Structure 1
């Protein structure tokens, strides 16, 4: 059974990720995992935390001699900032600990601060924001990189780019080759493939910097090389588009998701939305006239690129705080300011890649199974033959 989990707090000692259910024999490269972690930290608009951390993965189980062994994989990512919080957030209490508390008594609008305090019966939002923080996604990216390694064995790749920042949107039609080139860059500004668009995007972030505000945007994740037949129309919870939507919206600050070009489709007539069906007799394969459906029909992959877009709200921590309430007195007060980012859209794209990769890995395992990679590949090859002979 495929499953992943994360643990850890933003200013705790480390982040922990586990992934269970992958077959043995998958090649694992720490260099590639760390490259994904590096990509998550990049982008214009990031805050001071990214200057402190240099995220690297430390795998402690489930991988031997650079290959999975079929056992649960556990990965640790240390928080370098922990040295500044050892007395503020100790695991075990000690005399005088209260003197070192870094309490949060003025909850931020839009964050989990207030509702988390109410739900978990705390009078200090510190314990809520530490886990609600998007620092948790570092662990997701680590296990997502492992899922990517599994998918790569079947010719499946997952990448992203930014298509909107604030009210500015891109009209550039990015190709898969554009996304590959973007993923290899050593300097990331705003994660878009078109230089002219990036200039417009940067101007929006500059404005947010100038005014002490934050800004959101839209990122697009594409999965290339996905076979026909993942997911199902049989039950509501087996539809792959539903699983992808849940995975993307589970990301901090993501409030909406598109599969394919759903917003454009909602404003069009049906004749303009559906992807026409054609057949190449020489290649003996079906193909489509477009990909407005984003690679999924009826909750099932149709062999085209999967396209999923996440709509990211501006993050909740503002240098010019909004109105809030002081928890001890219940008086009006400005929300607390925690060191934070101004814009995180390129990083969100990388996190989105991880989430899509994890969902696709689960779908591949459900369909093709296998305790070893060799067994899974044999099952996959037999199915591909069945598809070609249809």
Structure 2
């Protein structure tokens, strides 16, 4: 399974084409739109979320709510495009009646992207590097989630930290996390900490600043043995780390209790093996991986999210033409994207898991895939 996405932040639409989804999977726009709606939520989001009500159109690969096995095309229209006239026009324009962006933002792709591709208007960079692209990635992840759901695999995210406010006690099962996320605007399982996180975001917003944080993403009931130890580029945890780092604003990834494990004795961090009708572990310090392969325990990944680089109290920068010191440009932005980043990372994890499963159990039909994975699980239990 593979996909490509295209589209700019304020362009007409975002598009993805997914190839390799088996035939026979139940899939509707409504299933995808549910995930897109969650991405748009979260305390600290900016005014763009008030404009866009992301709805996907499935324009190929699905008939009567069932996948055909042919490429699936997903389209999300950008409602805000109508307000951008000449700025985002596809055809050539003669008289530019808009501001050409010349002052890059520290922490963003603006300057390096312009240097690499030879652009003299930084909008040519910021439109594609914008986190708006994650909307279509969530749509792709929603398709992957339907594949996983058919295999009884579930994925969820929750927020561990925003700025300097963190939650130290939280459940370790998806069922309990779901139960405690119901009313939190920041997707934190602790109600009192959730309130403190919102207050911290408000403080940053009042200062024209932004805050980052840490999210945890979990997958349960993942088959044993996905990935491989035989080559470095087949290790699934390495693939997941790379995929997570490909999400805007993610600056660090670690599995399980890696931060603790790096400072403790080995006897305290290795997950002891036990047998109770099947092999399992007494703990899950390694977050579901050993030797680059899933070991049957829940996959647990933490991602560190940097503060958004667009600030309403901008930092100093340098004009790309005059080379004069001046304040960096301001684009409409969020104060905090940590909860939304968690939703995006759920989609990334779901896609990578579905892709790995489809490589391990090659199948053109969902019924055959379900049967093959079921048989494999029974074999692993009998080992």
TM category, shorter: over 0.9
Matches of 2:102 and 2:115 in 1, distance apart? 13
Q: Does 2:23 correspond to 1:24? A: yes
Bigger drift between 350-359 and 265-274 goes to 265-274
2:9 match:
10
Matches of 2:330 and 2:180 in 1, distance apart? 33
Q: 1:287 aligns with which of 267, 271, 280?
A: 280
Matches of 2:281 and 2:114 in 1, distance apart? 51
Q: 1:231 aligns with which of 223, 227, 230?
A: 227
SS at the partner of 1:87? helix
Matches of 2:232 and 2:15 in 1, distance apart? 32
Q: How does 1:1-390 map to 2 (within 5 A)?
A: 2-96=1-95, 98-99=96-97, 101-174=98-171, 175-181=173-179, 185=182, 188-280=184-276, 284-390=277-383
Gaps in structure 2 of 5+ consecutive residues? none
| 8 Å contact kept, 2:86–2:93 | no
Offset from partner CA, 1:162-206 (integer Å, 9 cap, x none):
0011122211222321333356x4x65111011011122122212
Offset from partner CA, 1:72-119 (integer Å, 9 cap, x none):
1110000000001132111111332x12x3421110000000001100
Q: Sort the Cα spacing of 1:148 and 1:197 in 2 relative to 1 into closer, same or farther, 3 A.
A: same
Query: What is the TM-score of this pair, normalised by structure 2?
Result: 0.97
Gaps in structure 1 of 5+ consecutive residues? none
Matches of 1:273 and 1:107 in 2, distance apart? 44
Matches of 1:308 and 1:131 in 2, distance apart? 27
In the TM superposition, structure 1's runs of 4+ consecutive aligned residues that sit over 4 Å from their partners are none
Matches of 2:239 and 2:281 in 1, distance apart? 24
Matches of 2:148 and 2:106 in 1, distance apart? 39
| 8 Å contact kept, 2:61–2:71 | yes
| 8 Å contact kept, 1:278–1:288 | yes
Matches of 1:212 and 1:267 in 2, distance apart? 37
Superposition CA RMSD, Å: 1.2
| 8 Å contact kept, 2:201–2:336 | yes
Offset from partner CA, 1:263-300 (integer Å, 9 cap, x none):
111121111111111111xxx21221111110111111
| 8 Å contact kept, 1:42–1:188 | no
| 8 Å contact kept, 2:214–2:304 | yes
Q: Sort the Cα spacing of 1:55 and 1:188 in 2 relative to 1 into closer, same or farther, 3 A.
A: farther
SS at the partner of 1:25? coil
Query: What is the TM-score of this pair, normalised by structure 1?
Result: 0.96
Matches of 1:84 and 1:199 in 2, distance apart? 35
